[in-house]
Structure 1
C-alpha cells in the first residue's frame, strides 16, 4: 500500500510539473516577449533594434487577466479566444476591426522610427493614400467612384494628424484591399510582422507578433487580431494545440485560430 501511494504521489507530481511546463504565460510580463515564455529548446527570432519584429515583441500589454473591450466599452468575455490584451487605443467608433488594427500597428511602427514617407495604404477602390500627402495638408475627397487629393488645411505632422489620416484608412481599407496590396509569401519564409489575410467582405486579418525556432529549424509563432465590431487587439490562444498555446507551429496546411480558419497559403507581407 505504501509503495502504491508512493507511486501515485510521484505520478501526480510529474503530472503537475508537466502541466506547469506547458504554461507559457508569465502574468508579470508587460510586453509580448516578457509575457509569453518559450518552449524548451526554442530561441526567439530577433531583428535589429529598429525592425518591425523588435517593435512587435516589445508591444505593451494590459495587466494579466484584463479582458478585451469593444469600442463602446462593453466586454468581450471569451477566455478561449485570447490570452492577453494589447495596450493600444482603438477609439470610440466602430472603425478599428481586424485589418484596421494591423494597419494601425504598422503605421505606429513606421511613425516611431521616423519612416513617415513609408506610411501608405491602398483604398479598396485602388487609390493610393500616402500619409506624407495628408501631412502636407491634402485631404481625400470621395465622390462616387472618383477619389482625389484636395488641398484643405495647413501642413502638419504630429500624432493627432496621423490619427485623422488613419481614421480615413480604417473607413476605406480592409481585408479585401490588403489582399490586393500585400505580397504573398511562402509559409517557410514567414517572419514577425507578416499577416494572415483572407480578403473579402467580410474577410479576416491576423498579425504575426513574434516567432521562435529550435536547432532543427522548427518554427513557432504568435498571432494577434482585432475583430468585429471594433475591439481591442488581442493575443490569440491556439485552439489546435492547447499544450503549445499561445504558440502556433509553423507548417503547411490548415491554420485554425479561435475565430477564423486560414491555410498556409494566406500568409502575406507589408
Structure 2
C-alpha cells in the first residue's frame, strides 16, 4: 500500500529540477531579442537546401507545425516574471502556461499532445498516467467525475454534470500536471529508434533525482544529402512558456538539430542521448 504523502514525494522527484543540476545554464536576466519574425513553427526558416518533411493532413506533426509563436520572444514564468535564463529559446509558443507552478517539462509534452487530441475531439484518447500508475482519463473528468485520493489510491467520484468545455479541459490538465511527471511518462511512452524520429516524439529522461522532456516540433531534410534536421520545444522549472530551443552545439544550424549527431545531444538546459527517444 502506498501512502499519499509518499506518492506526492515520488511525483515531485520526477519533475525537472534545475537546482544543483550539472546542466544548469548560466543565469541571464536580460530578455533575448526576437530571433525570428515567424508567426508559427512551420514558418521558422530552414537552412539553405532543406525542405520540410511532409506531414499528413490532420496529423499530430501537421498540428505542431501550425502552432503559433508569440511576437514577444521573452520566456515568462507562471507568475509572469521573466525566466532568469533567456538564452535557451529561439522562439516562444503562443500557449498559456496557467497561473500555478504546474506546467513544467513533462507537462509541456502532455499539454501539446492533449491539446491536439482535444482539437480533434478525440476525447477518449486523452489519458495520462500518474506516477502511482493511475490512468487519469479526460472522459471521466468531462463527464463530471472528480478524483478522490486516499491511502488506498485514486478513484473517480461523480460530482457534477457533463462539461466538455475548454475551461474544464484545462482544469483536467492541471490535475494531471499535479500527479504526473517524467517518471509517469516513462511508463506511458514507448521507446522509438532514433532512425524513426518523427514530429511529436519526445526525448525523455527520468533518472533520479532529475528528469526532463522535450518535444520534437518539426522536421526537414536535404534532398541532396539526405541529412534530416528537427526542432525541439520545452518547458522547464518553474513552470514557464513552452519555447523552441536553440542549438548551442551547432550555432550555424540553430535552432535546428541534425539526426547525425554522435554521442550526446546537447540542448541549452539538458543533455540527451539517442536512446531517450519515446512516442505516445
TM-score with structure 1 setting the length: 0.87
CA contact (8 A) 1:46 1:53 kept: no
Describe how 1:46-195 pairs up with structure 2 within 5 A.
46-63=54-71, 65-195=72-202
What RMSD over aligned residues (CA atoms) do the two structures have, in Å? Answer: 1.4
SS in 2 for 1:140: strand
Q: Deviations over 1:8-44 (max 9, x none)?
A: xxxxxxxxxxxxxxxxx9733210111x111122111
SS in 1 for 2:169: helix
Q: CA deviation at 1:78?
A: 3.1
Alpha-carbon distance in 2 for matches of 1:27, 1:177 = 35
SS in 1 for 2:195: helix
Among 219, 229, 245, the residue aligned to 2:254: 245
SS in 1 for 2:39: coil
Alpha-carbon distance in 1 for matches of 2:84, 2:170 = 28
Q: Deviations over 1:235-257 (max 9, x none)?
A: 10001101100000113531110
Alpha-carbon distance in 2 for matches of 1:77, 1:181 = 32
Structure 2, unpaired ranges of 5+: 1-33
Q: CA deviation at 1:68?
A: 0.4
SS in 2 for 1:227: coil
> Do structure 1's residue 27 and structure 2's residue 36 form an aligned pair?
yes
Alpha-carbon distance in 2 for matches of 1:145, 1:61 = 44
Alpha-carbon distance in 1 for matches of 2:147, 2:176 = 10
Q: Which residue of 2 aligns with 1:198?
A: 205
Q: Which residue of 2 aligns with 1:256?
A: 266
More divergent stretch after superposition (41-50 vs 191-200)? 41-50
Alpha-carbon distance in 2 for matches of 1:94, 1:240 = 30
SS in 2 for 1:68: coil
Alpha-carbon distance in 1 for matches of 2:102, 2:147 = 17
Structure 1, unpaired ranges of 5+: 1-24
SS in 2 for 1:39: coil
Structure (1 or 2) with the greater helix fraction: 1
Q: Which residue of 2 aligns with 1:207?
A: 215
Q: CA deviation at 1:139?
A: 1.2
SS in 2 for 1:75: coil
Alpha-carbon distance in 1 for matches of 2:153, 2:68 = 40
TM-score with structure 2 setting the length: 0.84
Q: Which has the higher contact order (CA 8 A, sep 6+)?
A: 2
Alpha-carbon distance in 2 for matches of 1:38, 1:66 = 19
More divergent stretch after superposition (131-140 vs 183-192)? 131-140
CA contact (8 A) 2:35 2:91 kept: no
> Do structure 1's residue 226 and structure 2's residue 235 form an aligned pair?
yes
State the number of aligned residues: 244
Alpha-carbon distance in 1 for matches of 2:86, 2:147 = 40
SS in 1 for 2:140: helix
CA contact (8 A) 1:95 1:171 kept: yes
